[in-house]
Chain A
Amino acid sequence: MKKIVAALALGAIVAVAGTAAEAKDWKKIRIATEGAYAPWNATDPSGKLVGFEPDLAMELCKKMKAECEIVAQDWDGMIPAIQQGKYDAIMAAMSITDEREKVIAFAGPYGTEPSMFGTMKTSPLAKATFPGERYDLSKDDPKAAIAALADALKGKTVGVQTSTIQANFMEKLLPQVAVRTYDKLDNAGIDMAAGRVDAIFGDRSAVDAILKADAGNGMTLFGPAFARGVLGKGVGVGLRKADGDLKELFNKAIAEANQDGTITKLSTQHFGYDISIK
């Protein structure tokens, strides 16, 4: 009897999974973003989601001839919620990494940014010198820079956002450095101003945005910029693995937006420079 019930339950679950993954015509697409990672995405005082990604999403949707809705979702629930079908796509400065590709699919990438550290101008970190300026972890050997960073960060605490490539980077390459993980990078910035953490680590533009907003507090970028390798293959659109057709649509739209200069235009508007991948 129990087995029959179990079989029925299993059947029901499969049936639900089936209906959820049923081919849609993608006339309506729900896209999630965090709304707390300027200039990629932010929330304005009227509660509207703004920034590079909400703008780009609208452009991509025009090209896909779909009606899009941008919804807010906290970063740490971003991937579980897409799997639950709460929305169809993620555009939240999410880098394409091997770990993430195990659970979701990606379209793109549509942009790339190296990661950088930020600290207070009064901190000894701001005066320290590090070998090299920019490391592509997929081909450059970062040993010297990592050793210098490990040395400079000895006894210090670095604030990162939970579940990010930067958190992963700290764990893999600088395991001896104390790390504190935050729900939002903004909060790590607040805590650095308060002196609870000595440095923050995030996408260069996002760290830079925090420094700019806190100009009076005197923060600065320091150390070399890192990209690729454990930091992923650029920022892409996160999708459910079952939605192969949607991935194709997004890939086509991103290619078009890249070609006609839409991404470059929006990037210059929000970042001040071009983050598109040529």
Chain B
Amino acid sequence: MNWELMWDSVPTLLRGVPVTLQLVGLALLFGAGVAFAVALLRLYGNRVTERLMAAYVFVFRGTPLLVQIFLIYYGMGQFELVRSSVLWIYLREPFWCAILALTLNTGAYTSEILRGAILSVPQGQIEAARACGMSRTLLFRRIVMPVAIRQMLPAYGNEVILMVKASSLASTITLLEITGIARKIIAQSFAVFEVFIVAGSIYLLLNFVASRLIRYAEWRMTPYLRARG
């Protein structure tokens, strides 16, 4: 074990953290939007949208992310139609291809988490709200969503961690995030162990912070549980 090399690789690898955070942050943001739309279309849409959304979720949950990334990056670029479209401004860049793949992936998983959470809102609460004379949108905004979001937080926390890990696959399409930089250092130093152990520790730290943040959000959202304790 070459400790000096390990120590020297720390600042270089840390330079990949912003890219990793951007990938994860943007994918989670867009993914939440996708998940919200998909969950609503599945629960309240007509049969066609329901089927379509179910198919999307099925495909993206049933295939490895690596296949999705390669298909979006290398596969789409093959078509003149895609290359001459406006979308190419974004799809030309590996960064946006990675964002797209991660977004669609997390969108599919999160929509299932959200759907389950919405379905788990107790019927009694909805009835009570209706009895108070709430409109459908008000009921959804004030009762269903807050309860559902609180309900889904633990599962969503796992999804966030999965995304942090998944972002490492962006290195396979030339992006220089933490893993990409790690591979670059290894290409010059050939020290696989040292570099990947440092890189792994950085991911571990990121995930630790992420899980703490989610737990804090959970704590903030459940004041009624605290009062009892």
Q: Which residue of B lies closest to A181 (CB)?
A: B174
Tell which of B74, B174, B186, B191 touches A76, judged by Cβ atoms closer than 8 Å: B186
Question: Range of interface residues on chain B?
Answer: 10 to 19
Q: How far is the CA of A199 from the CA of B125 in the complex (A)?
A: 63
Q: Check A141 for interface membership: any CB of B closer than 8 A.
A: no
How many whole Å from B172's CB to the nearest CB in chain A?
Answer: 7
How many whole Å from B126's CB to the nearest CB in chain A?
Answer: 51
Complex contact A99–B174 (CB within 8 A): no
Number of A-B contacts (CB under 8 A): 44
Dominant secondary structure at the B interface = helix
Interface size on A, residues (CB 8 A): 21
Complex contact A195–B74 (CB within 8 A): no
Complex contact A162–B187 (CB within 8 A): yes
Q: Check B150 for interface membership: any CB of A closer than 8 A.
A: no
Selecting from A53-61, A186-194, A226-234, A259-267, the interface stretch reads A186-194
Q: Check B42 for interface membership: any CB of A closer than 8 A.
A: no
Q: Check B188 for interface membership: any CB of A closer than 8 A.
A: yes
Q: How far is the CA of A181 from the CA of B185 in the complex (A)?
A: 13
Q: Which residue of B lies closest to A179 (CB)?
A: B174
List of B residues within 8 angstroms of A83 by Cβ = 190
List of A residues within 8 angstroms of B92 by Cβ = 194-196
Q: Using A187-B74, A190-B74 as known contacts, say yes or no to A182 and B188 having CB atoms under 8 A apart.
A: no
For chain A, residues 163 to 211, give those with C-beta under 8 angstroms from any C-beta of chain B: 163, 167, 180-183, 187, 190-191, 193-196
Complex contact B190–A195 (CB within 8 A): no
Complex contact A195–B186 (CB within 8 A): no
Complex contact A76–B83 (CB within 8 A): no
List of B residues within 8 angstroms of A162 by Cβ = 183-184, 187
With A163-B187, A193-B77 already in contact, 9 other A-B pairs whose C-beta atoms are closer than 8 Å: A76-B187, A80-B186, A103-B190, A162-B184, A163-B188, A183-B172, A190-B77, A196-B77, A196-B94
- 8 A-B contacts (beta carbon < 8 Å): A76-B186, A80-B186, A163-B188, A181-B174, A193-B77, A194-B77, A194-B92, A196-B92
Name A's B-contacting residues (CB within 8 A). 76-77, 79-80, 83, 99, 103, 162-163, 167, 180-183, 187, 190-191, 193-196
Across the A-B interface, give the 8 residue pairs with the lowest CB-CB distance, nearest first: A194-B77, A163-B187, A80-B192, A79-B190, A180-B174, A162-B187, A80-B190, A103-B190
